[in-house]
Amino acid sequence: MNKRVVITGIGAVTPLGNNAADSWEGMKSGKNGIGKITKLDSSKQKVKMGAEVKDFAYRDKKEGRRMDLFSQYGVMAALEAFEMSGLVSGGNIDPTRLGVYAGSGIGGVMTLENEVQKSFERGFGRVSAVMVPMIIGNILAGNIAIILKARGSALDIVTACSCGTNAIGEGWRAIRHGYLDAIVAGAAEAPFAPTCFAGFANMTALSKREDPDRCSTPFDKERDGFVMGEGAGMIILEEFEHAKARNAKIYGEVAGYGSSCDAYHITAPEPSGKGAAKSMEMAIAEAGIRPDEIGYINAHGTGTLYNDLCETKAIKDVFGSAAYDIPVSSTKSMTGHMLGAAGSVEAIACIMAINDGIIPPTINLNVPDDELDLDYVPGKSRGKQATCVLSNSLGFGGHNGTLIFRKYS
């Protein structure tokens, strides 16, 4: 028998705030987290704007020196979510039944670039002895597990911009099938390293505009690329009976999950959107609901020419005429594209949308595109009581992930 999986904690570090409450407040109010880049020398870059985390301080300087910034973001978001949940490893949960499913698309790229530069300038003998455990792809799950004493399965998911969504979805399956009782699930990213940033700019993926209100423009006819963002989102997934037995506050339920691959191109989405459509169809089927029961879609919505077009096609294929009645918004218009962390932060937006009865907007959508004719909630948030909401993530390599969240009752 499949088990129910509920959400008992959330945590975030984003360009809108260094906790989940401030980040959600920023989304509700249409706050723009984009500005001129300060974490690298933009005078040497083609792109000048980004969505940076502001005024961030890790909890312990000594501990933080042994972590890349992406791990610091992820750990702080995980600690916030874990504290909210009220779980205590070795107390009200068996540590062998507590897992961590985390992800990052880029990993410790800031540390890697710093150490490579150091080796060229000062010799290989000056490379940090902890460089490897700071950059390796699995280290986010490892760091969280060590700090929280989580001795269950600790896995890192690497699916580019779908990392956060896939981490939550695979964690949901692990609890649903009885392998674990609770999981810290999500992703983190800190990609503002000069060479990494230049790589995204040189592939013409990033917007080159310098007006913060016209950089990240999902679904706008004048969209010209995404804005690089950073941060982390973590949620606590918990088996329903386990949460109920300890009288935990429940913020929602994960109802369905879909995962597919375009198998088409290393960066471009499949033009018809059929891969994204398949992911949504799988999630809806697993949730056991009709497509018209979805009350809101948090789109991948990057602001690139083809992503927004292909995702819109996919939504129409899945929902048919009902697609025109469903609010669809992109919170990337406010947070920028947080790469691997995007899906987990957007999952939090979906959870809070259900709890608060508010649909976050797509800001900066000023010029309608005739080919993009859905209800993208332009400019301002909207009041709506939605029972089921859907979140999409689409990553380089053709990775597609979809989550469906349900109001707890």
DSSP 43-101: GGSS--EEB---S---S-HHHHTTS-HHHHHHHHHHHHHHHHHT--BTTTB-GGGEEEE
Tokens of 246: 């300890």
Rounded Cα gap, residues 354 and 276, in angstroms: 23
Going by the DSSP 8-state scheme, the letter that residue 41 receives in this structure is -
Contacts by residues 113-122 (CB-CB < 8 Å, ≥ 24 positions apart) = 113/193, 113/194, 113/195, 113/196, 114/193
Q: What is the pLDDT of residue 1?
A: 75
Q: Quick one: which of 319, 325, 387, 378 has its CA closest to 351? A: 387
Location of each CATH 3.40.47.10 domain in the chain: 5-245, 257-398
Strand 5-13, strand 231-239: pairing: antiparallel
- Is residue 281 within 8 Å of residue 258, measured between CB atoms? yes
Catalytic-role residue among 161, 163, 215, 388:
161
Rounded Cα gap, residues 263 and 399, in angstroms: 8
Rounded Cα gap, residues 239 and 293, in angstroms: 24
Rounded Cα gap, residues 239 and 74, in angstroms: 23
Catalytic-role residue among 242, 310, 337, 399:
337
Record: fold of 5-245: Peroxisomal Thiolase; Chain A, domain 1 (3.40.47)
Tokens of 393: 């993530």
User: Is position 399 annotated as part of the catalytic site?
Assistant: no
Catalytic-role residue among 196, 215, 300, 399:
300
Kindly tell me the sign of the dihedral angle through the C-alpha atoms of 97, 285, 405, 387. negative
Ranges of the chain with pLDDT below 50: none
Q: Tell me the whole-structure pTM to 2 decimals.
A: 0.98
Q: What is the pLDDT of residue 409?
A: 87
Cβ burial of 191 (10 Å; 0-12, 13-18, 19+) is buried
Q: What is the pLDDT of residue 145?
A: 98
Tokens of 337: 């594209």
Residue 200's SS3 state is helix
- Is residue 283 within 8 Å of residue 404, measured between CB atoms? yes
Tokens of 201: 């700019």
User: Is position 163 annotated as part of the catalytic site?
Assistant: no
What are the start-end ranges of the E strands in 170-280?
182-189, 231-239, 252-261
For the domain 257-398, what is the CATH code?
3.40.47.10
User: Is position 161 annotated as part of the catalytic site?
Assistant: yes
Kindly tell me the sign of the dihedral angle through the C-alpha atoms of 256, 22, 364, 262. negative
